[in-house]
Structure 1
Amino acid sequence: MPGIIDLPADAIPLIIPPSFKKLAETHEDPFRKIVHAVDTVLREANSFFCVGYGFNDNHIQVKLFERAQRDRKPVVILSKELTKNARKLFLEDHGQIDFLAFEEASNYGTIMYDKDNRDGVLIEGHHVWDLAHFVKEVI
């Protein structure tokens, strides 16, 4: 099946590779400890800074989004291209979550989105969707 890989017997993955057993594998160490640590971070964070995260992991995105919305915790997203899930979560009307999302606007610069500009605003000549440029030009 495409996307399914067989790891060598002595390999210890640092990520959970695609498989039919992926959900079950997240309940075993070391992944169980990682998931617990992520839950703690999501519960205690004052804000969220997401770089290249596609919002395709239900365990994380649901908790992050609910926490951001319920407790008004701001979310900043940097991505070359916002995924379908990121667009659905942040650009469709989901209440008044405080967010800034930046994605590449081809060679023109960056498109910035927020709760008041869900169609985006072009920032010409500035590539702040890229972490290095964001740090240099924004922070």
Structure 2
Amino acid sequence: MELDELKQIIQDFFQEDTVTIVGSGLSLAEGIPGMAGLAVELQSKIPHKLSDKLDLGIWRSISSDLTSGTSLEQALQRNKPSEYIEECIRKTTAEFIGKAELKVFENVVNSNYELRFEEYLKRFNIRNSGLTVITTNYDRLVEYACEHQGIRIDTLFVGKYFARFLPEQSKYAFCSNITKRAGKSVALFAPKVTILKPHGCLSWHMIDGEPYSIPGYPMKDCLIITPGINKYKEGYSVPFDTHRNKANAAIDFAQKYIIIGYGFSDDHLETHLVQQLKSGKPALILTHSLSDKAELIVKSSKRVIAICNSGTEDSKVITSAEEHVFPKLNLWDLHTMLKEVF
């Protein structure tokens, strides 16, 4: 594969019928800790929150697995935490990610820093139908990127400071004008990005049994689904289930996918996504490290192309038919790829 051919393939993905899937790799590139960093934080903080002997024993088993190199997801599936440990994990995770996110946000506000996802959005012609972004991240970097570029966002909540979860009404908040066509009133809608978050968000909170988006509320009490054996059960409660269902519908409806920093470790989405990829829908995967599961998907899907790191400054391009290394070019990084391709 020649570089010019690869650039043309990448450019063809930047269309309105493309759904974007964002994983922790994109946030990691902006300074938000990933699972490895979170595991270290949990090992540091959780023991000081426990007093029950049973809880301490469970946590020692989890910590032992983490120390031996087991991933956080696997450690929490192998050693089922108690409800109290899960609550401690959720609060610690929210505070840890929230502090890192605040630093990025302050950099955007005070230094006019441009997030990688802002550069990405500029390459789309966002019209009335808008774009859909599905992210398993808790942080709000995608939201910040959109609004920093003057693009309105639909998170299925209506309001700003005490936003109610109204998934069937939120779309009407983007009505920009009413015009007459053939004697009928037609609503015109402003361009927007719909952001679907099946694992929750630092802004989401449950108040009197109802989900709200409240940006200024303490993050430790936010609605997020943390790794572990219970994440699939929690994913079937409001508002997670609505976001998951709409995400899967968007995956089914899409014509193409751009998948950024996502490791293919979430069954909530992948039942639909993998089925679509194996049916022949094109996908572009950009990631520093291609997981074993992702590599198997690439090898078994004829129209999927993955770009990952291969050495200090090299990029490896993988398809079902071939592998090719481009030296001295970090095309897997969103910033470098956009600069090089466009």
Question: TM-score when scaled to structure 2?
Answer: 0.36
- What secondary structure sits across from 1:135 in the alignment? helix
2:292 is the alignment partner of 1:84: yes
Q: CA deviation at 1:122?
A: 0.6
Which of 11, 23, 31 is the matching residue for 2:221? 11
Other-structure match for 1:115: 320
Output aligned runs, 1:50-69, within 5 Å: 50-69=259-278
Aligned Cα RMSD in Å?
Answer: 2.0
Q: 1:100-139 residue pairs with structure 2 within 5 A?
A: 100-117=305-322, 120-139=323-342
Work out the CA distance in 1 between the residues paired with 2:241 and 2:271: 18
Which residue of 2 is the match for residue 74 of structure 1? 282
Greater relative contact order (Cα 8 A, min sep 6): structure 1 or 2?
2
Instruction: Evaluate the alpha carbon distance shift between residue 114 and residue 20 of structure 1 in structure 2; reply closer, same or farther with a 3 A threshold.
Output: closer
Q: 1:108–1:63: structure 2 CA closer, same or farther, 3 Å change rule?
A: same
Structure 1 unpaired stretches of 5+ = none
Give distance in 2, aligned partners of 1:26 and 1:36: 10
Aligned partner of 2:38 in structure 1 is none
1:99 to 2:279 alignment: no
Shift of 1:67: 1.1
Q: Is the 8 A contact 2:287 2:333 kept in 1?
A: yes
Distance 2:269 2:295 in 1: 16
Mapped to 2, the partners of 1:77 and 1:63 lie a distance apart of: 16
Q: 1:109 to 1:12 in 2, by over 3 A?
A: same
Distance 2:302 2:271 in 1: 13
Rg larger for = 2
Q: Name the amino acid aligned to 2:256.
A: S
Normalising by structure 1, we get a TM-score of 0.84
Paired with 2:255 and 2:308, the residues of 1 have a C-alpha distance of 23
The answer to whether the 8 Å contact 2:284/2:306 transfers is: yes
Aligned counterpart for 1:27 among listed residues 233, 236, 254: 236
- How many pairs are equivalent? 132
Q: Distance in 2 between matches of 1:97 and 1:62?
A: 18
Q: State, as a whole percentage, how many aligned pairs show the same letter.
A: 22
Give, in whole Å, the separation in 2 of the partners of 1:105 and 1:20: 33
Pick aligned residue for 2:252 from 43, 66, 72: 43
Off by >6 Å, runs of 4+ in structure 1: none
Comparing 59-68 with 122-131, which one deviates more in the overlay? 59-68
* Alpha-carbon distance change, 122 to 33 in structure 1, aligned in 2, over 3 angstroms: same
Offset at residue 105 of structure 1 (A): 1.1
Cα shift at 1:138: 2.1
**Paired residue type of 2:319:** D
Cα shift readout 1:86-122 (whole Å, capped 9, x = no counterpart)? 112223xx2x5201101111214100011221xx211
Q: Cα deviations across residues 26-72 of structure 1 (Å, max 9, x unaligned)?
A: 110111111011111111111010001101112322311211222x2
Deviation at 1:20, TM superposition (A): 3.8
